[in-house]
Amino acid sequence: MDVRTICLGILTRADATGYEIKKRVEEGGYRPFVEASFGAIYPALNKLTKDRFVSVRAEAQEKRPDRKIYSITEAGRRAFVASLMKPLTEDRHRSPFAFAMLFADLLPEQHIAQMLDAYIAHTEQALAQLQQADAKPKSQREHFANGMSQAAYAATLEYLRSHRLNGETRTAEAAE
Amino acid sequence: MDVRTICLGILTRADATGYEIKKRVEEGGYRPFVEASFGAIYPALNKLTKDRFVSVRAEAQEKRPDRKIYSITEAGRRAFVASLMKPLTEDRHRSPFAFAMLFADLLPEQHIAQMLDAYIAHTEQALAQLQQADAKPKSQREHFANGMSQAAYAATLEYLRSHRLNGETRTAEAAE
DNA sequence: GTCGATCTATATCGGGCCAATATAGACTGC
DNA sequence: GCAGTCTATATTGGCCCGATATAGATCGAC
């Protein structure tokens, strides 16, 4: 799922500037499955323009750089659908936290507890955001995708809460 | 969590060649939190050698290129622990599947059903592999990390099975 | 028994992407 | 009135993936 495809997908819903695309990736129903940085979006839009998959119109602004508003073309729509029809690449999950947990024996116990608390807090926050986003009326598709993420986050949280790998719990479990 | 750090972590457990590091990332208790390609591992090991964080000894082999066996140095151990003590970067989840689901309206219904089936099958397989890996005796840390992944996968599966976004279910849900 | 496939093992390259940085005016809160 | 954040574009360095190349070993199938 390269950034060009992500841009095309977002533009199938509405025209947007590069900046708006970035915002939609972060806030829309796309979180947390996709990400894209400015350093990827702007070159992607240039390439898409060259390939005639999007068109640009510049909106002049006083004392500011022009807003470049991108629209998807018919060729772009076809290319987008074609790329979704190709076998999808696998999901990727990367967790520096889980990796660090594997080396808990090399770290101070107190620091482990801190990392765990921070991770739990962060996951709670992400889940709350998803629930909040889901409260607004949405398309069935967005609800489906959002629910899938919520399910995974909720299960992770429950697991962490009941299996806290800190001093007290370790002692308690050993005593069972 | 860059590839240099991943290499250092694996080398804290045992000496290894670049090839063996790759295998351990794929098969060990590291799946599915981390990944690294050869194109990242070999340059990472060169840089680590230059920085004196690992040392190499070449094992000559007849009619084959030398096996280059890497060992972590004391400086390497210190650098590794230091990098785990720094605030960790956030987890990243990327799902081309979930992204594609958001554009279900642009795709043939039959193709959606296929993608869903493939995704479910794939997730089942990943979960089975984790369960199998967990059956062997492991350290408590590895068990903890493995369990966290299992929880997330299992919840995702359950969600997908009960919310299948295909024709029949959609009709059935609409009738409720 | 021999032929294709898979495994061990190294390495490079193009292209894609992230994080940081630069620029610059407008708006918001204190 | 000024600090911080927001809109908006863009570039750069460096990291990383996927594909590709090389090459002998081993192993199962037929």
| Cβ–Cβ pairs < 8 A, chains A and B | 169
A164 in the same domain as A129: yes
Strand C proximal to B39 Cβ, under 7 A:
yes
Angle between helices B3-13 and B18-27 (to 10 degrees): 90
pLDDT in tens, chain A (176 residues): 999 999 999 999 999 999 999 999 998 789 889 999 999 999 999 999 999 999 999 887 666 667 899 999 999 999 999 999 999 999 999 999 999 999 999 999 999 999 999 999 999 999 998 998 888 888 889 999 999 999 999 999 999 999 875 544 444 444 44
B43 upstream amide cis, omega within 30 of 0: no
Q: Are residues B64 and B14 in the same domain?
A: yes
Cβ–Cβ gap B99/A6 under 8 Å:
yes
With an 8 Å Cβ cutoff, is A176 touching chain B?
A: no
Same domain, B41 and B70: yes
* Disruptive mutation site among A2, A89, A94, A111 for chain B (greatest number of B CBs within 10 Å): A94
Q: Is A76 within a domain?
A: yes
Residue B17 sits in the same domain as residue B48: yes
Kindly report, residue by residue over B138-176, the tens digit of the pLDDT. Answer: 888 999 999 999 999 999 999 999 987 554 444 445 444
The residue type of A27 is: E
Domain count of chain B?
A: 2
Q: How many CA atoms lie within 13 A of A81 on its CB side?
A: 13
Q: Which of A85, A117, A136 is the last residue of a domain?
A: A85
Per-residue pLDDT of chain B (176 residues; tens, 9 = 90+): 999 999 999 999 999 999 999 999 998 789 899 999 999 999 999 999 999 999 999 987 666 667 999 999 999 999 999 999 999 999 999 999 999 999 999 999 999 999 999 999 999 999 998 998 888 888 889 999 999 999 999 999 999 999 875 544 444 454 44
A139 with A106, same domain: the answer is yes
In a domain, B104, yes or no: yes
Decide the pairing of beta strands B92-94 and B64-72.
unpaired
The pairing of strands A54-59 and A67-72 is antiparallel
A18 and A52 share a domain? Answer: yes
Chain D nucleotides covered by protein, CB below 7 Å: 7-13, 15-20, 23-25
Domain CATH number, residue A60: 1.10.10.10
User: Which two tokens mark B162?
Assistant: 């009960």
How near does any CA of chain A get to the CA of B37, in Å? 14
- Report which DSSP code applies to B28: S
Range of the domain at A135: 96-175
Are the Cβ atoms of A85 and B105 closer than 8 angstroms?
no
H helix runs in B2-139, sequence order: 3-13, 18-27, 38-50, 74-85, 96-101, 109-135
Bond prior to A96 in cis (omega within 30° of 0): no
Q: What share of chain B is helix, strand, coil (3-state, %, to 5)?
A: 65, 10, 25
